[in-house]
Amino acid sequence: MFADKMILRIPGPTPIPPRVQQAMNQPMIGHRSGQFSALFARTAERLKPYFGTSQDVFILAGSGTSALEMSVVNTLQPGEEAAILVSGAFGERFAKICERFGVVAHRLEVPWGKAVTPDLLQAFLADKPQVKAVFATYCETSTGVLNPIRELAQVVRQHSDALFIVDAVSCLGAVACEMDAWGVDIVVTGSQKAFMLPTGLAFLAASERAWQVIDQKKPLAFYLDLKAYRKSLAENTTPYTPAVSLVFGLDEVCSMLEEEGLPAIIKRHEVMRDMTRAAMRALNVPLMAEDAYASPTVTSCDPQGAFDAEELRKVLRTRHNIVIAGGQQHLKGKIFRIGHMGYCEPLDVLQVIAAIELSLRQIGAPVELGAGVKAAQEVLLAHV
């Protein structure tokens, strides 16, 4: 095998297109130069369609978690109450951030693998009139669940005065997001998922309603002061040193996304999801998420003791140079997760499915070679 031909099929970081790598290799420029200001303003504007907003999109040097924290420290104060929708590891992360800053976090928890439904949220909010913000995870990376953000936003609007704040780190740029039309107040994401970049950039957009709250608050952080980013963006720059090379890459990513078009991008991810799920069913590998809430960007599978998930991952990595993800927290060692987002297309999905079939046979699992590939091919044929 070629040592440098490792195939990454985890839910982030995702593979980087060669043309994006080349863009990031451009000679460094001054981060306060007119050249960078023009680049920065252009890329910030080009991000708006993926958020579904006419509001400014802020770009900061940091991982997706920095934007999660930014959404907390600019909208809440110690002692205020928030509702956190927890359907996996990253919903829990929102709760931990809130608690770190003294916010009272009310957790609405559902079993891992399930989605938070509008009815559950409505009942949860009924006796919590003091809640100032509701935090939700669009795609719960740890389980492969896509929560129904549009419907959840309607519940928040109709049954509370809270802001609705959404972590879209592992799906924005691959799924529909209509922040303005749906009534979402803050959406955050990161660069290393569907945006096909290395880790290191975070993006955030806020509604007019959110700004009315932010403008009345003293931010609980220095670097993550959103008002400072708004002031700088008006001058086509950032308050602190930007990741210049990553912004070069982001500009090229925007070109790639625009060339394909958002409807086609969304469709491609849906097809890859359906191919993966059809293949796992054909191989008798149980899926964690229900069809109605299955993410187009990551599929989680639970062997339920039929075979060792970690042994499968090891064989894929050591014999076939393919890396898939394992479980997190209490699911560590029990499940495996297949990423299919960003610089990934249906033929890449066929490759990983074929390798999974081989690996399952190599660890002694009773699978029929070709069954998963055939099921995935049938899905693809219906869409080409």
Are residue 172 and residue 298 in the same domain, yes or no? no
106 pLDDT higher than 90:
yes
What is each CA distance from 70 to 44, 99, 103, 224, 246, in whole angstroms? 18, 14, 14, 5, 20
Domain boundary among 241, 258, 275: 258
| Position 1 in a domain | no
Rounded Cα–Cα distance for residues 79 and 81 (Å): 6
What is the number of other CB atoms lying within 10 angstroms of the CB of residue 184? 31
Q: Measuring CA to CA, which residue among 14, 275, 41, 12 is closest to residue 167?
A: 12
| Position 153 in a domain | yes
Rounded Cα–Cα distance for residues 95 and 329 (Å): 15
| Position 2 in a domain | no
| Position 39 in a domain | yes
DSSP 315: H
> Average pLDDT for residues 303-316, to the nearest whole number?
97
| Position 157 in a domain | yes
Are residue 282 and residue 218 in the same domain, yes or no? no
What is each CA distance from 234 to 168, 238, 239, in whole angstroms? 25, 9, 11
Are residue 162 and residue 33 in the same domain, yes or no? yes
2 pLDDT higher than 80:
no
Q: What pLDDT, in 10s, does the model give residues 216-258?
A: 999 999 999 999 999 999 999 999 999 999 999 999 999 999 9
DSSP 292: G
DSSP 182-239: HT-SEEEEESSSTT---S-EEEEEE-HHHHHHHTTS--S-STT-HHHHHHHHTTTS-S
Are residue 35 and residue 153 in the same domain, yes or no? yes
Domain boundary among 240, 258, 276: 258
5 pLDDT higher than 90:
no
Write down the pLDDT at residue 219: 97
| Position 124 in a domain | yes
140 pLDDT higher than 80:
yes
Domain residues for 81? Answer: 18-258
pLDDT above 70 covers a percentage of the chain that reads 100
Are residue 33 and residue 56 in the same domain, yes or no? yes
Are residue 92 and residue 229 in the same domain, yes or no? yes
Are residue 249 and residue 348 in the same domain, yes or no? no
Write down the pLDDT at residue 64: 95
Residue 4: which pLDDT band, with cuts at 50, 70 and 90?
confident
Which pTM was predicted? 0.97
Write down the pLDDT at residue 1: 65
3 pLDDT higher than 90:
no
Residue 177 and residue 136 in contact, taking contact as beta carbons nearer than 8 Å? no
The 3-state DSSP class for residue 12 equals coil
Write down the pLDDT at residue 116: 98
Q: Is 337 annotated as a binding residue?
A: yes
| CATH number, position 369 | 3.90.1150.10
Q: What pLDDT, in 10s, does the model give residues 180-192?
A: 999 999 999 999 9
Are residue 237 and residue 128 in the same domain, yes or no? yes
| Position 345 in a domain | yes
Q: How many structural domains is the chain composed of?
A: 2
Rounded Cα–Cα distance for residues 330 and 240 (Å): 38
Are residue 166 and residue 53 in the same domain, yes or no? yes
Are residue 300 and residue 270 in the same domain, yes or no? yes
| Position 143 in a domain | yes
Residues whose CB falls within 8 Å of the CB of residue 234, separated by 6 or more in sequence, listed in order: none
Are residue 56 and residue 183 in the same domain, yes or no? yes
Rounded Cα–Cα distance for residues 323 and 334 (Å): 16
| CATH number, position 178 | 3.40.640.10
Are residue 220 and residue 355 in the same domain, yes or no? no
The 3-state DSSP class for residue 113 equals coil
The helices-and-strands tally (H runs, E runs) of the chain is 15, 14
Write down the pLDDT at residue 104: 98
Rounded Cα–Cα distance for residues 323 and 235 (Å): 42
Q: Measuring CA to CA, which residue among 248, 190, 233 is closest to residue 67?
A: 190
368 pLDDT higher than 70:
yes
Q: Measuring CA to CA, which residue among 203, 204, 170 is closest to residue 88?
A: 170
For the record, the structure tokens of 290 come out as: 């229900």
Domain boundary among 243, 258, 273: 258
